[in-house]
Structure formats: C-alpha cells, structure tokens
C-alpha cells in the first residue's frame, strides 16, 4: 500500500493544512466536500504538494518533519517546491 503526505492551502485565508493518509483520493474528497472538521470552514482548498511513501511510519515521520518547519521558511520552500 502507498501512504501519502499532502499539503492543502485555503483559498479563503491562505493557511496550510498538512496531513497523511493511506487513501489519498478518499481523504482529499473528504476535505474538498467539507467532511473534515479542521478544514471545513477554510474551503475552497487547493492541493499544493504531495509525497508518497511505502510505509505509514515513513509518512508520519515526513508529516512531522514538514510541520516543524517554520512558517516563513515553509512558505519560501513551498514557492520553490523544495521540502527536502
């Protein structure tokens, strides 16, 4: 199975949401349709980044790593598309 780490951006306030899932299409549909509490009131959302992993532990590790990046540095990296 493939696991994914994804980043969504709110078109309302510009805030970013970082998550991980085993089923990316189902999870994105839930976000886009307003079924996820943390993003429901921040729609519409845009998928701005996605990475795939072979294991949940790798995906969780990467999710935590991305969440630790400071907001300013994160936005700079997002513009450059570099999260390594």
Domains of the chain (ranges, CATH numbers):
3-80 (3.40.1440.10)
Task: Give 83's pLDDT tier (boundaries 50, 70, 90).
Answer: low
Exposed/middle/buried for residue 3 (C-beta within 10 Å: 0-12, 13-18, 19+): buried
Measure Cα distances from 28 to 52, 69, 72, 80 in Å. 14, 23, 25, 23
pLDDT in tens, 4-30: 999 999 999 988 999 999 999 999 999
- The pLDDT, as a whole number, for residue 81 is 64
pLDDT in tens, 57-82: 999 999 999 988 866 777 677 766 65
Average pLDDT score, the chain: 90
């Amino acid at each position: 199975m493939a696991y994914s780490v994804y980043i969504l951006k709110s078109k309302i306030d510009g805030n970013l949401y970082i998550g991980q899932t085993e089923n990316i299409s189902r999870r994105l549909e839930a976000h886009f349709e307003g079924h996820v509490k943390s993003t429901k009131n921040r729609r519409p959302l845009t998928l701005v980044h996605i990475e795939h992993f072979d294991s949940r532990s790798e995906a969780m590790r990467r999710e935590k790593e991305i969440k630790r990046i400071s907001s300013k540095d994160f936005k700079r990296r997002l513009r450059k598309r570099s999260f390594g």
